[in-house]
Amino acid sequence: MTDIETLRAAYDEQMRGVPPHPPAGVTHEQDGPLLRIVGQHRGFVTGPRDLGLRGAELDRLIARQRDWFAARGEAVEWKTRGHDLPADLPERLRAAGFVPEEQETVLIGRTAELAGPAAPPEGVTLRQVTADADMHRIAAMESAVWGQDWSWLADDLIGRVAATPDEITVLVAEAAPGAAPGAAEARTGSGPSAAPVLAPDAGPRGEVVCAAWLVHRPGTRFASLWGGSTLPAWRGRGIYRSLVAARAGLAAARGVEYLQVDASDDSAPILRRLGFHAVTTTTPYVWSPKPA
């Protein structure tokens, strides 16, 4: 039986910070118990499970972050977890003008226990990409999925690949020209340690229908899974599952013990079936400057 407390403790110990090699233009600053990240599409704040502050002291810490980013005219996300202390942190963030976004579930899987890899359905190819043009294609796909301008994502991925190519692996699922969504499910593979089958990066390009990336955490036993948004017409075909399997295989090849995901309500059931376990929730609280 999986010990959820053990997984949660490992998460708290190793996943509260950020990778040690930020992209160009991104800086990390410590403010008391908080880690503040500057230079991304919006500011980011995270801390240990227990901030160690209560009442008025905590209110002052929250206000300081808000005012610091207000002076820059920049939005900021404060990442909270469901088991954080003090328990009234969300209430105090709201009082300071932070607004909660969608709650996600923090899932962790032991790489050795995850379900075996799955090939994508017929007509869909998985490929690892590194070129700037491919990152812009990913951002365009994400913009279409969410109905918002996600062009910032291209710059984010480009910067991370340039800064630490060994710490991030970006994969796309591409539909061959003329291929149409069908009812075919992903095909299962031989086991959790099987190497993922990826098309050559130099091959012909198709339409990007899904994209996802694997982020390694040097000095920890973790890697994180990000992305996975799929164009609506291509959902329900096993593409998301095949990208999870491909990244799990890459992580296993590097001896990674744990995989961690902040999962939406759509993704969480799939990941649970693959062997991931819920350890807590995470909710971003965002403060944004008022429009001029």
The pair of three-digit structure tokens given for residue 68, joined into one six-digit string = 């610091």
What is the C-alpha separation between 19 and 35, in angstroms, rounded?
12
Token reading at 177 = 């020209």
pLDDT computed for residue 177 by the predictor: 79
Q: Is residue 44 located within the same domain as residue 119? A: no
Q: Considering only 3-17, 68-82, 95-109, 115-129, which range has the smallest mean pLDDT? A: 115-129
Whether the per-residue pLDDT at 111 is higher than 70: the answer is yes
Where does 111-257 show beta strands of DSSP type E? 118-119, 124-129, 168-175, 187-188, 207-216, 222-230
Nearest to 6 by CA among 291, 214, 258: 258
pLDDT at 204: 73
Q: Tell me, yes or no, whether 292 lies in a domain.
A: no
Q: Is the pLDDT of residue 198 over 60?
A: yes
* pLDDT tens-place string over residues 228-260: 999 999 999 999 999 999 999 999 999 999 999
Question: Is residue 37 situated within a structural domain?
Answer: yes
Q: Which domain holds residue 58?
A: 4-105+283-287
**In this structure, are 155 and 261 located in the same domain?**
yes
Q: How far apart are CA 133 and CA 137, in angstroms?
A: 6
Residue 269 has pLDDT above 90, yes or no: yes
pLDDT tens-place string over residues 29-48 = 999 999 999 988 899 999 99
147 in the same domain as 55: no
A 10 A CB-CB count for 270 gives 15
pLDDT of the residue at 185: 52
For residues 286 and 99, the answer to whether their CB atoms sit within 8 Å is: yes
* Integer Cα distance of 167 and 160 in angstroms: 8
What percentage of the chain reaches a pLDDT higher than 70?
91
Whether 211 and 119 map to the same domain: the answer is yes
In a domain, 67, yes or no: yes
**Residue 100 sits in the same domain as residue 124:** no
Quick check: 191 pLDDT over 50?
no
The answer to the question of residue 241 being in a domain is yes
CATH number reported for the structural domain that contains residue 201 in this entry: 3.40.630.30
- Asked if residue 255 belongs to a domain, the reply is yes
CATH (domain of 31)? 3.40.630
CB 15 within 8 A of CB 222: yes
Say yes or no: 130 and 194 in one domain: yes
**pTM for this prediction:** 0.89
Asked if pLDDT for residue 280 goes beyond 80, the answer is: yes
For residues 116 and 235, membership in a common domain is answered with yes
206 and 91 share a domain? no
- Asked, for residue 160, whether it belongs to a domain, the answer is yes
Same domain, 57 and 180: no
Shared-domain flag, residues 127 and 264: yes
Q: Would 36 be classed as within a structural domain?
A: yes
Q: Where are the beta strands (DSSP E) in the chain?
A: 27-31, 34-38, 43-46, 76-81, 99-100, 104-110, 118-119, 124-129, 168-175, 187-188, 207-216, 222-230, 258-263, 277-287
The band of 182, judged by pLDDT with boundaries at 50, 70 and 90, is: low
Q: Which two tokens stand for residue 105?
A: 């579930």
The answer on 245 and 120 residing in a single domain is yes
99 and 86 housed in the same domain:
yes
pLDDT value at position 31?
Answer: 94
Is 263 part of a structural domain of the chain? Answer: yes
The answer to whether residue 287 scores a pLDDT higher than 70 is: yes
Report how many domains make up the chain: 2
Cβ atoms 137, 208 nearer than 8 A: yes
